[in-house]
Structure 1
């Protein structure tokens, strides 16, 4: 797990380190676990994406971005599984309101955003 290490009495500067769970340093420090939960980086919730009339339709692409880089989660676009598990994928924009989501192996949504293409 990634954790922020904060030394009591500031004997050393704060830093981020990686630990195998259960092997964190002794009680002379405070460890704050901030392991990344799966999330959608782009688009943000409520984003408005405009189709550019000066760019040929076949060249218009939206790049969906996800963190962390993990293939444990699938991407769902407009309630349809995409089969994509990468940290990003390319999509040809279509006008309307859309929803992108991340689901786990139990098909539970762990993050989702709605966006509009105009």
Structure 2
């Protein structure tokens, strides 16, 4: 080994053992390093001790205020148009539509069941 690596190794060993030595000293002599607890603050003077006074009488109600401004008149609600729908398959007077009613999967094959439904408005 050369001079520089040996010097670095010596410095590292000294630092490591220095930290370990300081931790060991604190662990062994920790109780001796603690001092007594000092005062935490000054205590204020005690308050005056007196008797509790009597409760006062309730106050009178004030005069009523002015009424507020009237609001804007409301608008009439729009009633929706009544619609009737007739769903069926016989006697279709409206529009016939084909609707999917069932889907099954058999051996990686999709089977779709459809039914014709009449929708009239």
User: Fold-level match, TM-score > 0.5?
Assistant: no
For CA contacts below 8 A with separation 6 or more, give which structure has more relative contact order.
1
Larger Rg: 2
* Bigger proportion of residues as helix: 2
